[in-house]
């Protein structure tokens, strides 16, 4: 009896572990535009200090990873809506688990979607932390869909050919720094 229970436990654990690795592998294969690299907590705090008043504002985060920025901003700054768009299944699963633990701030929605298929026109503020090439590919989409006055914040990678109205740099230790570029449309 004990041996049978032990076998069932081992088989279930192996099945769950394989399942989680499988989701992760699929993510690595599918999300080629930008890998999952979560933002450092110092950088998140600096971002919070530099965001405008978000009450009555709709925020879009494109590629929201495990939801750490979304949860922090939604809890602390209470925007009217915060849409966290993420294509990867693994980061999205982590985001839902984090939300279960941290509580569910009003207005926060985790949306499983590709950024390319997301209509950005309702946004007042857009936050991206992606890759150089992908940000360049999205430039035309931003120009077409963002309404006048929308603020776009890009972490690490500036938009080529557009001048930021504000830039901040945050030390994350002796070697690594995060840059944020603020643009107005």
Ligand X SMILES: C[S@@+](CC[C@H](N)C(=O)[O-])C[C@H]1O[C@@H](n2cnc3c(N)ncnc32)[C@H](O)[C@@H]1O
Comparing CA positions, the residue from 128, 135, 142, 167 lying closest to residue 50 is: 167
Tokens representing 150 are: 């929308």
**Using the rule CB under 6 A, which residue among 24, 36, 107, 177 binds ligand X?**
36
How far, in whole angstroms, is CA 33 from its chain's centroid? 13
**Residue 83 or 115 having the CB closest to ligand X:** 115
Looking at the Cβ atoms of 150 and 154, the one nearer to ligand X is 154
Which strand ranges, in their side-by-side order, compose the sheet holding 81-86?
Answer: 108-112, 81-86, 58-62, 125-128, 151-155, 177-184, 166-171
DSSP 150: -
For residues 61 and 79, which CB has a smaller minimum distance to ligand X in the complex? 61
Looking at the Cβ atoms of 124 and 154, the one nearer to ligand X is 154
C-alpha Rg value of the chain to the nearest Å:
19
d(CA 154, CA 167): 10
Judged by CB under 6 A, the chain residues 3 through 32 that form the site for ligand X are: 31
Q: Which two tokens stand for residue 41?
A: 């907590």
Which is nearer to ligand X, 11 or 169 (by Cβ)?
169
Q: How far is CA 55 from the centre of its chain?
A: 20
Residues 63-102 that bind ligand X (CB under 6 A): 63-65, 68-69, 85-88, 91
The minimum distance between CB 4 and ligand X, in angstroms, equals: 41
Closest residue to bound ligand X by CB: 63
Binding positions for ligand X, 119-148, rule CB under 6 A:
129-130
Interaction between residue 59 and ligand X (CB under 6 A)? no
- What is the binding site for ligand X (CB under 6 A)? 31, 33-34, 36-39, 61, 63-65, 68-69, 85-88, 91, 114-116, 129-130
């Amino acid at each position: 009896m004990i041996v049978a229970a032990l076998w069932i436990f081992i088989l279930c654990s192996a099945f769950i572990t394989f399942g989680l690795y499988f989701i992760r592998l699929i993510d690595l294969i599918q999300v080629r535009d930008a890998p999952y690299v979560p933002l450092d907590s110092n950088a998140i705090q600096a971002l919070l200090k530099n965001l405008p008043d978000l009450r009555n504002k709709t925020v879009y985060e494109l590629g929201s990873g495990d939801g750490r920025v979304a949860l922090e901003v939604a809890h602390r700054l209470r925007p009217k809506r915060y849409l966290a768009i993420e294509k990867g299944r693994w980061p999205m699963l982590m985001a839902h688990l984090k939300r279960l633990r941290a509580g569910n701030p009003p207005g926060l929605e985790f949306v499983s979607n590709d950024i390319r298929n997301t209509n950005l026109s309702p946004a007042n503020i857009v936050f991206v932390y992606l890759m150089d090439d992908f940000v360049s590919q999205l430039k035309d989409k931003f120009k077409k869909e963002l309404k006048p006055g929308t603020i776009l914040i890009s972490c690490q990678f500036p938009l080529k050919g557009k001048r930021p109205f504000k830039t901040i740099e945050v030390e994350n230790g002796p070697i690594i720094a995060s840059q944020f570029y603020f643009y107005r449309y």
